[in-house]
Each structure stands twice: as C-alpha cells, then as structure tokens.
Amino acid sequence: MICLRYWSSCGVIAAAIFMVGCLSGKEDLYNETKIIMGTVVQITVAHHSEEQARAGIRAAMSELQRVDDLLSVSKPGSLVTKINREGSSGKIPVGAEVFSLLRDTVAMSSASDGAFDATIWPVAELWDFDKGGMVPKPTLIASKLPLVGYQNILFDDSAMSVGFARQGMGLDLGAIAKGWAVDRAMEKLKSLGIRNAIIDAGGDLRIIGARPGKDFWKIGVQHPREPGALLTTFSLRDTAIVTSGDYERFFIAEGIRYHHILEPATGQPARGCRSVTVVAATAEEADACATAAFVLGPQKGLAFLRARPGLQGLIVDDRGALHWTDEAFERMAGR
C-alpha cells in the first residue's frame, strides 16, 4: 500500500491564513508565536506600550492554554475526557461556559442537518489523525456509527450538566473549540485595553481594530493545493475569519486523500470541497460554519452559509472552482 503522510513531527499544522502587509503609523506591532491546541498560534498586537502589548499577549496565550486543557479530547485530565469516560453512566457538571458551548454545538448540528456533529469522536478516533492517520476497517466504522448522533447528548439545564444516552458515545469539539478559544482570548486582550490585534490559531482568526496607519488588517487565505501560497486576501476589521480545509490533516493511501473532516452519516472524509473560508462576527461561529459547510459540500454548503445572517463565505470545490456567498464578498477579495 502506497501511503504518504503529511505531518510535521510535533503535530504542527501550517497556519491556513497568513498576515501580509507592512507596518506604518505611530503604534508598534508586537508579535508572539506558540504551539497550543496542536497548532501554531500567532498573536499580533498594535500598541504604544510594549509592556502592555506583551502583557496582553501573555494573558491571551494563557487563556488559549486554559481552553485547550479544558476541551482537548486527547488530554487525560480535560473536562471532555471526563465526559467521554463517564458521560454514559451519568451527567457531568460542566459549568456555565462549557454548557453554553455544548448548546451551541447542538444548535449548529440541527441547523446543518447533522453535517456538523461533535459526537463524531468514536469514529474520528479510529482514523487516528493525530498520529498520522490510518484507514479503519469498514466493519469497525460501521460498528461505531450508531454512537454518532447529537440528539443523544443529554442536557440538564438546572445542574448545567451533560451526559450521553448511549454507552460508548464521545465528544470531539475540534471543529468549534479553536474558534471559541480565540474569542475567549480576544476578550482577554480587550479587557486589558488593547484595541488593535489579531489572534490566529492555525487559520482561525479574530481581528479587532486595524493595522497602524490603516483602517484594516490584510489577511491572506491559504491555497488548498499550493502549500505556502495564497488563494486570495481580504482587508478586514472587527470580525472573524476561519478556514476548514482537506490539506490541514491528511494522508494519501493508494492515491486517495483521506482527511480529518468526516461525514457523520458514513464516517468517511467528506468529499466535494477542498476548503471553506467563513467570515462571521465570532470565530466560534465561523469555525463551526466552515466545518458544517465543508461536510455539506459546495451546493448545500453555499446555501447553508447564505441562509445565516451576517455571514460570508468562499468554498473551493474538489475541482478547484471558487464559489462565493455573494458578489460583495467576491469584490472584497484581492489577488
């Protein structure tokens, strides 16, 4: 079996979106990079005071780390691991912020007719993408598919606890948690008085204010088939932009590309799209919608994005053709 794997040894995913442009104006730019949530996190702050900029970046990085420790499906001490281990035997108290996040995931599942489903874990685990990936036996996938179903997450509003209706179910918040974490980290920056900044967690970006001397930040979107090349750029302020792509975590076996975004109905990598980029008010929404639209495929995915108010998107289909939610968004794109 010919099997090519595309990974770096430390599990770093190349950032899907890069910052481009040059510095001008009075404030200076401060930039730090760290590996958190298995990806490259880059925070850029424009500020008059280096001390305040660095304090903000430190606080935002700690917040991202806190969310990773809470929601990682692979950390033995995380809350998600506890839910996955014990959630079939009884409901686990999760606190207000995670309870609300889990409510959001279920809302996204029903809005996308189940294309987005955080109960994908029993199947996602079989593909083992964190360790390079492998094609699971069809019988094994078939045996786990009945455990996938967001309708079987049980909520207790008064205790803010969650559990599972079926033994063996599990949560994987990988399609929404990065965006959610970026939003939380941006709140930290704002609470410290920072008004112009970008947080980029491996292609999940939240942007406030503008680059010094400009009234926007220029953001580049990764080309899904040309590593290191940009598909397009956008000039943005006070928004979030997130890309889901089949180039982020994948391997090729016998000429077939297997990637990490799975179709809940079949347990197989979703076909039809190479990447989906979404611009929305929050990184949480952009992250979840990008994954949902990717699974839905170019036609249904575009309809899904168009139906959500205040949202814009760009889908690259499996032939490389570009599909825009609206002409205004297409006109915003630079080359």
Does 78 contact ligand AMP by CB under 6 A?
A: no
Helix H or strand E segment including 276: strand 273-280
Rank residues 63 and 287 by Cβ distance to Mg ion and give the closer one.
Answer: 287
Q: CA-CA distance, 98 to 177, in Å (whole number)?
A: 10
Q: Are 241 and 205 in contact (CB under 8 A)?
A: yes
Kindly write down the DSSP assignment for every residue of 75-135, as one continuous string.
Answer: -TTSHHHHHHHHTTTS-EE-HHHHHHHHHHHHHHHHHTTTSS-GGGHHHHHHH-GGGT---
Q: Which residue is nearest to ligand AMP (CB)?
A: 174
Member of 45, 67, 79, 124 binding ligand AMP (CB under 6 A)? 124
284 binds, among ligand AMP, Mg ion, none (CB under 5 to 8 A by kind): none
Does 68 contact ligand AMP by CB under 6 A?
A: no
Does 201 contact ligand AMP by CB under 6 A?
A: no
Does 295 contact ligand AMP by CB under 6 A?
A: yes
Does 291 contact Mg ion by CB under 5 A?
A: yes
Rank residues 189 and 276 by Cβ distance to ligand AMP and give the closer one.
Answer: 276
Q: CA-CA distance, 183 to 140, in Å (whole number)?
A: 37
CA distances from 99 to 84, 117, 186, 235, 307 (A): 15, 16, 20, 34, 26
Rank residues 52 and 152 by Cβ distance to ligand AMP and give the closer one.
Answer: 152
Does 261 contact ligand AMP by CB under 6 A?
A: yes
* Cβ 24 to ligand AMP shortest distance, Å: 34
Does 175 contact Mg ion by CB under 5 A?
A: yes
Does 246 contact Mg ion by CB under 5 A?
A: no
Sign of dihedral through CA atoms 159, 170, 121, 146?
negative
End-to-end CA distance of the chain: 40
Gyration radius from the chain CA atoms: 19
Helix H or strand E segment including 244: strand 239-245
Rank residues 56 and 301 by Cβ distance to ligand AMP and give the closer one.
Answer: 301
Q: Which residues contribute to the site for ligand AMP (CB under 6 A)?
A: 116-118, 120, 124, 172, 174-175, 244, 248, 260-262, 264, 287, 290-291, 295
Q: Which residues contribute to the site for Mg ion (CB under 5 A)?
A: 175, 244, 287, 290-291
